[in-house]
A and B are shown apart, each in its own frame.
Chain A
Amino acid sequence: MSHSHERPKEQERRGFVRGAQDFAGGIFLLLLAALGLWLMRGLPQGRLSAMGPAMLPDWLSIGVGLCGVALLVNGLLKHGAALERWSLRGPVFIILAILAFAATIRPLSLGGFSLPGLGMIVAGPLAILIGGCATPEARLRELVILSLSLTPFCMLLFGDMLNLPIPVFPQALTGLFPAGWSQKDILRACSAIMAAAALIMFLTGRRRHTTKVDVAIETEQG
């Protein structure tokens, strides 16, 4: 115990696990290996001269499992890095944002629940607004301006210039515009409206909060 005073107290209290990171990593690999073997159950391994579908995955899973055991033992025997603290806020909001984008970009029906395809005009801002909340420093106003300016940019780039088959706006929107307008005209009109809204918000916000914004920038740089 000659070196015990060098170790932080927290690690001593943990008891028999000395390298928490390795220990957890070992468990993760073991779970993965078990999952692989379980999913491949029932498929034939075949022979070396005629490999079956399960041969390689099975042996790989076993290899992963062995690495897991070695890491686990390592974590028990050797002092190593502790687990880093991690917050839930980031992952939760980022995943929610991604799910929101996936659910709204085109028609979705899950069981009894269904959504019409809303396209990039809704999915883009949703991803930015929800995802933006992943940091505690989020400010709603900034995010709204960001989404109102980036979305039309992407709409024009991907939908208009590059002609990618990505849904841009809900079909219901067509009814709001004069009958003769083509899809592209509507796309451009929507983009223009959004960009104008972003500009207006930006300018009004600027006039009202001039002093406030400057302070914020200074503290960031300091």
Chain B
Amino acid sequence: MSDLVSNLSLGFGVALSLQNLGLAFLGCLVGTLIGVLPGVGPIATIAMLLPITFGLDPVGALIMLAGIYYGAQYGGSTTAILVNIPGEATSVVTTLDGHQMARQGRAGVALGIAAIGSFFAGTVATLVIAALGAPLTRLALIFGPAEYFSLMVMGLVFAVVLARGSILKAVAMILVGVLLSTVGTDLETGEERMTFGLPFLSDGIDFAVLAMGIFGIAEILRNLDQTETRDVVRQAIGRLLPNRDDFKQSYASVLRGTVIGSILGILPGNGAVLGPFASYTVEKKLAKDPSRFGRGAIEGVAGPESANNAGAQTSFIPLLTLGIPPNAVMALMVGAMTIHGIVPGPQVMTRNPNLFWGMIASMWVGNLMLLIINLPLIGMWVRLLKVPYRLMFPAILMFCCIGIYSINSLPTDVVFIGLFGLVGYLLITLGFEPAPMLLGFVLGKLMEENLRRALILSRGSLSTFIERPVSAGLLAVAIVLLVLALLPSVRKGRDEVFTE
């Protein structure tokens, strides 16, 4: 316990320095600014804004990036409530009741409770990370390559189970993602794989390029197909602070959402996505009058938003303790860390305690800033959201080009976001969901490396994955999950959760 306190005070010492406070503020502000744009989720936002952190020291850069991440998340919720367009998968749920509240002239209350719930969830999640960080890091030390491989398999199975639509298509997307990650020079043998003989492919495909293509450009292409029916609230925003009745109705939802989100966020394989859905379902089940849901029930905003933020934060845990990015956003964080010469994993905590605890403390600071920045700025976001899409997408397009060019100064990267944009657009029209592919890509290199090592250690015997108890346990969980997801009754329930 005293460890926890001293670690956190070290962290706050770092995070509360004037420079880092400023960076967290700036990160939250620009993150929200870009995240508010419809069709731009946290992934595209972070990829776009990655270059602006290059000139900073590692601690400052990561603090700013974390700020951008929270800002983008909150910006997505703002868009969901005010315009009924979810910025990303996790804010789909917020559109249901949030936008209805906005139509009833209670947009301010919806945004307020979202911010307050998120802040509470963020505070709890920060403590969870601080408390779990050290023990989980010790756990990581007993993990060998076989365990790492099995853990990642479990993560990918999770992603399949959590993907919307056909399970077969999700499996295919995961495989394609891992396949894409093998492009480039094979680290072990030095052979070039699938590079078409092109020199810029020999380092492999840059994750930021793939993410920006699939989530930035493809999203523009998809939005262009739909005729614009943006439904910006025309009602007054109303008062921002929820009153006592609102609090009474929603505090339990916030608590439940926080617990659900924190637990799901720790799971590898983007468990955080499930948080808002699970929370919404729970709230609806527990409500005395479920018919209020979908018609502007404040619990339907408070619970999922808290779950969303808690999950967004606890998903740092697998990255910081095991070095495994559980979702695409965390993969971008890996990219940012590597640029600054930090290899994510259990050693970060011991080697760079400043960075580790500073970042954790800055998460809390970031959440507080969001509360302070966003509530007064809502009027500005509303005006921004009234800009028609025909003007918005060329701006997004230019930001994408400049952002991706400045990461590596390679014009080929710019061309490749176009190519991946086309591929992403094709995938969407064919009914494939790109998110599992990205996760497969993220974990692919690590998986191959660990598979290889595990097999070298076992002299080529595949039974090593079953003989080692931890690895066997992880694989068993993966199989159970997959079987469950394929059972007809569970499948029906799963479809219901996602279509609700």
B-binding residues in A (CB < 8 A):
21-22, 24-25, 28-29, 32, 36, 39-40, 43, 47-54, 56-57, 60-61, 63-64, 67-68, 70-71, 74, 81, 83-84, 86-87, 89-91, 94-95, 97-99, 101-103, 105-106, 108, 120, 123-124, 127-129, 131-132, 134-135, 137-139, 142-143, 146-147, 150-151, 154, 157-158, 162-166, 220-221
Contact = CB atoms under 8 A, between A and B. Distances in A.
B405 A142 contact: no
Given A43-B191, A143-B394, A158-B51, A94 B402 contact: no
A135 B393 contact: yes
Given A51-B188, A105-B411, A131-B397, A98 B178 contact: no
B414 A98 contact: yes
B390 A57 contact: no
Interface stretch (B127-135, B164-172, B319-327, B375-383): B164-172
8 closest A-B pairs by beta carbon, nearest first, are: A49-B460, A67-B172, A98-B418, A48-B460, A90-B224, A53-B186, A102-B414, A53-B191
Interface in B410-469: 411-412, 414-415, 417-418, 421-422, 425-426, 429-432, 448, 451-452, 455-456, 458-462
B225 A105 contact: no
Contacts of A165: 406, 409
Contact of B179 (A60, A95, A138): A60
B222 to A, nearest CB: 9
A99 B414 CA distance: 8
A110 B397 CA distance: 24
Contact-size category for B? 35 or more
A94 B217 contact: yes
A127 B388 contact: no
Interface of B: 51-52, 54-55, 166, 168-169, 171-172, 175-176, 178-179, 182, 186, 188-189, 191, 193-194, 196, 217, 220-221, 224-225, 228, 234, 388-391, 393-395, 397-399, 401-402, 405-406, 409, 411-412, 414-415, 417-418, 421-422, 425-426, 429-432, 448, 451-452, 455-456, 458-462
Contact of A51 (B193, B391, B415, B455): B455
A51 B452 contact: yes
Nearest to B195: A39
Contact of A166 (B55, B406, B460): B406
B196 A98 contact: no
Main secondary structure of the interface of B (DSSP, over half): helix
Given A53-B193, A120-B402, A21 B431 contact: yes
A68 B52 CA distance: 41
6 contacts: A50-B460, A99-B415, A124-B402, A127-B397, A127-B398, A166-B405
B466 to A, nearest CB: 15
A127 B394 CA distance: 7
B68 to A, nearest CB: 14
